[in-house]
């Protein structure tokens, strides 16, 4: 590869085109527009929608294909020239009018190398310097294709391999966190939205009474008992609890029997959790809820905290800044100097849960894990809720993430435009929610807490990997970093 080559020597460009909004979310390829490209480059999959309309083959992209944004709707220019690569989990995508596919001229072209060249800070600076427009920025096709590509040396090839490993680990962390989040939400929904263990008990009572009509019906409400020995299986209470255990654990009767023998402690913990669920429903202003549970204003469970601070008063200090852009970029707080933060912020409390009040149709729920509590701040576009009991933090996060709460937040919105709508914090704080007995809320919190903590750990590691990636990218074109240095730094992050 000659040293004076440029992008034009390797690719041609295929721009996407418009689509019919009426055909969104129908079976078909994923639309890959500006929202699918991270600012500064990389793939984003948190807002993808499918498209059911006719699509020409030339507009389709497959795993490994690279596409670029030659425009930016903001003055920051962060998205201008940014590239993304279709991941394996996206089997088929479609370009929109805002994105352009790179069509390689040769099958053996160094695709991975060119991808990372287009992620380098030197390339981004090149794009910003050639930006056209005032409100919406654009980069001409000619300028993009003219960007010089340094010769692919063995050192650069090795560095690309490390960059690929970094991106693979960041992607894996993201996928793991999606699974952890889904697990926490599914558990909360089962227990506190769909009331599945309660309904299982009600059905079990009906079966038991049909088989033993002479027995008097029992009506336990909310138990928290210690069991000195394994419970009997023949009485009504045990029969109902075993039904709830099946729902809670996902185990069949036979597997529960096996668990009782193999791990009596775990079995009894599961039984005690099941015993905490009522076996009947009652009417409430929110509809039917489990017997003995309450409808209460949310601020009885968690306080809306808006303690403010002005980071600019400490211009040299580095703040952990929980902002909307930081959330959208991967849920890692930005590290910003006080001098660069012009407006007031909220102090982030170590046990808080954040939820965005800006455009709540896009759910943004954040579990902060500050490295330094004295340096943690968040945008005033977030509502910060601090649980009345620290032990219930995971339960509060579950409430906030649940669909009934999210629907209530959206209902509190003011503002006429879709891009600048805001929920009303005081109204959200006063929203009625369903509250179980504290013992059961604690049971959920103890199960869910490790899921949230693991997510925070993965985010922290991905943030460090991103910092390493950015360091490596500055050296990709200059060749200043050896492969041994790069591998050593990655190992340090992985072991942290």
For 74-127, the pLDDT digits (tens) are 767 789 999 999 999 999 999 999 999 999 999 999 999 999 999 999 999 999
Please name the residue ranges forming H helices in 213-318: 236-249, 253-262, 264-275
Residues 59 and 104 in one domain: yes
The predicted structure's pLDDT at residue 165: 93
CB within 8 A of 407, min separation 6: which ones? none
- Separation of first and last alpha carbons in the chain: 39
Residues 239 and 304 in one domain: no
The predicted structure's pLDDT at residue 224: 42
Q: Which of 386, 418, 433 is the last residue of a domain?
A: 433
With respect to residue 401, please indicate whether it lies within any of the assigned structural domains.
yes
With respect to residue 64, please indicate whether it lies within any of the assigned structural domains.
yes
The predicted structure's pLDDT at residue 417: 61
If we measure between CA atoms, which residue out of 148, 131, 149 comes closest to residue 139? 131
Among the residue ranges 69-78, 204-213, 217-226, 231-240, the one predicted with the least confidence is 217-226
The rounded distance, in Å, linking the Cα atoms of 355 and 398 is: 12
Structure tokens at 455: 């997510």
**Beta bridge partner(s), residue 67:** 84, 101
Helices 264-275 + 253-262 axis angle, to 10: 130
Q: pLDDT: is 417 or 193 the higher one?
A: 193
Strand 376-378 vs strand 345-347: parallel, antiparallel, or unpaired?
Answer: antiparallel
If we measure between CA atoms, which residue out of 10, 198, 241, 20 comes closest to residue 111? 10
Range 220-228 average pLDDT: 42
Domains contained in the chain, number: 3
Question: Percent of the chain scored above 70 by pLDDT?
Answer: 90
The rounded distance, in Å, linking the Cα atoms of 243 and 363 is: 34
Note the pLDDT tens digit of each residue in 289-340: 999 999 999 999 999 999 999 999 999 999 999 999 899 888 999 999 999 9
The predicted structure's pLDDT at residue 221: 46
Residues 12 and 133 in one domain: yes
Helices 121-129 + 438-476 axis angle, to 10: 80
Longest dimension (CA), the chain: 92
With respect to residue 93, please indicate whether it lies within any of the assigned structural domains.
yes
Residues 286 and 334 in one domain: no
Residues 308 and 291 in one domain: no
Contact 173, 332 (CB under 8 A): no
Residues 328 and 421 in one domain: yes
The predicted structure's pLDDT at residue 230: 40
**Statement: residue 183 has pLDDT above 70:** yes
- Confidence bin at 39 (pLDDT 50/70/90): confident
The rounded distance, in Å, linking the Cα atoms of 401 and 126 is: 41
With respect to residue 390, please indicate whether it lies within any of the assigned structural domains.
yes
Mean pLDDT of the chain: 90
Residues 308 and 284 in one domain: no
The predicted structure's pLDDT at residue 483: 61
Contact 162, 493 (CB under 8 A): no
pTM: 0.85
The rounded distance, in Å, linking the Cα atoms of 445 and 442 is: 5
With respect to residue 347, please indicate whether it lies within any of the assigned structural domains.
yes
Contact 377, 311 (CB under 8 A): yes
Kindly tell me the burial class for residue 1, based on how many C-beta atoms sit within 10 Å of its own C-beta (0-12, 13-18, 19 or more): middle
The rounded distance, in Å, linking the Cα atoms of 199 and 247 is: 10
Q: pLDDT: is 367 or 133 the higher one?
A: 367
The predicted structure's pLDDT at residue 163: 94
The count of C-alpha atoms lying within 13 angstroms of the C-alpha of 481, restricted to the half-sphere facing its C-beta, is: 24
The predicted structure's pLDDT at residue 495: 61
278's enclosing H/E stretch is none
If we measure between CA atoms, which residue out of 464, 402, 460, 465 comes closest to residue 431? 402
Strand 30-32 vs strand 93-95: parallel, antiparallel, or unpaired?
Answer: parallel
With respect to residue 1, please indicate whether it lies within any of the assigned structural domains.
no
The predicted structure's pLDDT at residue 60: 97
**Statement: residue 135 has pLDDT above 90:** no
28's enclosing H/E stretch is none
The predicted structure's pLDDT at residue 489: 63
- Confidence bin at 129 (pLDDT 50/70/90): very high
Q: Which of 237, 270, 295 is the last residue of a domain?
A: 295
The predicted structure's pLDDT at residue 476: 84
Distances (CA, A) of 475 to 30, 38, 118, 255, 471: 34, 21, 13, 56, 7
**Beta bridge partner(s), residue 43:** 37
Residues 108 and 33 in one domain: yes
Contact 309, 384 (CB under 8 A): no
Contact 239, 233 (CB under 8 A): yes
Structure tokens at 325: 């852009």
The rounded distance, in Å, linking the Cα atoms of 288 and 432 is: 14
Residues 271 and 304 in one domain: no
If we measure between CA atoms, which residue out of 479, 382, 492 comes closest to residue 151? 479
Structure tokens at 31: 């639309």
Q: How many CB atoms lie within 10 A of CB 479?
A: 13
Residues 267 and 391 in one domain: no
Note the pLDDT tens digit of each residue in 271-298: 999 999 999 999 999 999 999 999 999 9
Range 17-22 average pLDDT: 94
With respect to residue 170, please indicate whether it lies within any of the assigned structural domains.
no
Instruction: Give Cα 56 to chain centroid, integer Å.
Output: 32
Residues 279 and 308 in one domain: no
With respect to residue 183, please indicate whether it lies within any of the assigned structural domains.
no
Kindly tell me the burial class for residue 485, based on how many C-beta atoms sit within 10 Å of its own C-beta (0-12, 13-18, 19 or more): middle
Q: pLDDT: is 234 or 402 the higher one?
A: 402
Q: Which of 416, 433, 450 is the last residue of a domain?
A: 433
Question: 78 lies in which domain range?
Answer: 7-150
Tokens 């490790």 locate to 450
DSSP 331-399: S--EEEEGGG--S-EEEPPTT-EEEE-BSTTS--EE----S-GGGEEE-TTEEEEEESSGGGHHHHHHH
The count of C-alpha atoms lying within 13 angstroms of the C-alpha of 355, restricted to the half-sphere facing its C-beta, is: 28
CATH number, domain at 48?
3.90.220.20
**Statement: residue 169 has pLDDT above 90:** yes
Residues 94 and 133 in one domain: yes
**Statement: residue 380 has pLDDT above 70:** yes
């Amino acid at each position: 590869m000659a040293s004076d080559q440029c992008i034009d020597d390797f690719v041609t460009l295929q721009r996407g085109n418009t689509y019919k909004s009426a055909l969104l979310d129908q079976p078909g390829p994923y639309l890959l527009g500006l929202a699918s490209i991270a600012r500064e480059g990389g793939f984003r999959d948190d807002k993808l929608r499918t498209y059911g309309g006719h699509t020409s083959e030339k507009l389709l992209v497959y795993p490994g294909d690279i596409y670029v944004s030659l425009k930016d709707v903001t003055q920051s220019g962060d998205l201008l020239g940014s590239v993304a690569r279709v991941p394996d989990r996206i089997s088929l995508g479609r370009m929109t009018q805002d994105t352009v596919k790179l069509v390689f001229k040769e099958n053996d072209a160094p695709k991975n190398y060119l991808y990372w060249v287009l992620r380098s800070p030197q390339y981004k600076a090149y794009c910003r310097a050639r930006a056209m427009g005032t409100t919406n920025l654009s980069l001409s096709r000619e300028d993009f294709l003219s960007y010089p590509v340094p010769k692919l040396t063995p050192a650069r090839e090795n560095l690309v391999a490390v960059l690929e490993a970094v991106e693979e680990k960041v992607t894996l962390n993201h996928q793991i966190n999606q699974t952890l989040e889904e697990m926490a939400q599914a558990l909360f929904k089962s227990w506190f939205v769909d009331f599945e263990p309660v309904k299982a008990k009600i059905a079990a009572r009906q079966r038991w009474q049909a088989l033993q009509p002479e027995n008097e019906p029992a009506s336990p409400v909310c138990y928290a008992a210690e069991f000195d020995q394994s419970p009997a299986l023949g009485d009504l209470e045990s029969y109902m609890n075993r039904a709830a255990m099946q729902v809670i654990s996902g185990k069949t009767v036979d597997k529960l029997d096996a668990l009782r023998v193999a791990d009596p402690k775990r079995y009894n913990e599961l039984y005690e959790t099941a015993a905490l669920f009522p076996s009947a429903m009652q009417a409430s202003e929110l509809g039917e809820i489990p017997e003995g549970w309450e409808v209460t204003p949310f601020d009885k469970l968690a306080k809306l905290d808006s303690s403010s601070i002005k980071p600019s008063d400490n211009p040299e200090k580095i703040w952990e800044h929980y902002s909307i852009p930081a959330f959208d970029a991967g849920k890692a707080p930005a590290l910003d100097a006080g001098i660069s933060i012009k407006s007031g912020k909220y102090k982030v409390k170590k046990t808080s849960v954040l939820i965005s009040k800006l455009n709540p149709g896009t759910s943004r729920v954040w579990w902060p894990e500050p490295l330094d509590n004295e340096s943690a701040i968040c945008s005033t576009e977030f509502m910060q809720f601090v649980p009345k009991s620290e032990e219930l933090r995971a339960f509060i996060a579950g409430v906030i993430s649940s669909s009934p709460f999210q629907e209530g937040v959206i209902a509190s919105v003011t503002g006429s435009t879709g891009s600048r709508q805001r929920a009303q914090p005081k109204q959200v704080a006063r929203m009625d929610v369903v509250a179980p007995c504290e013992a059961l809320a604690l049971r959920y919190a103890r199960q869910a807490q490790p899921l949230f903590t693991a997510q925070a750990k993965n985010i922290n590691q991905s943030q460090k990997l991103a910092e390493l990636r950015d360091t490596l990218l500055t050296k990709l074109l200059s060749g200043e970093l050896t492969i041994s240095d790069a591998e050593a730094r990655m190992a340090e992050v992985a072991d942290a």
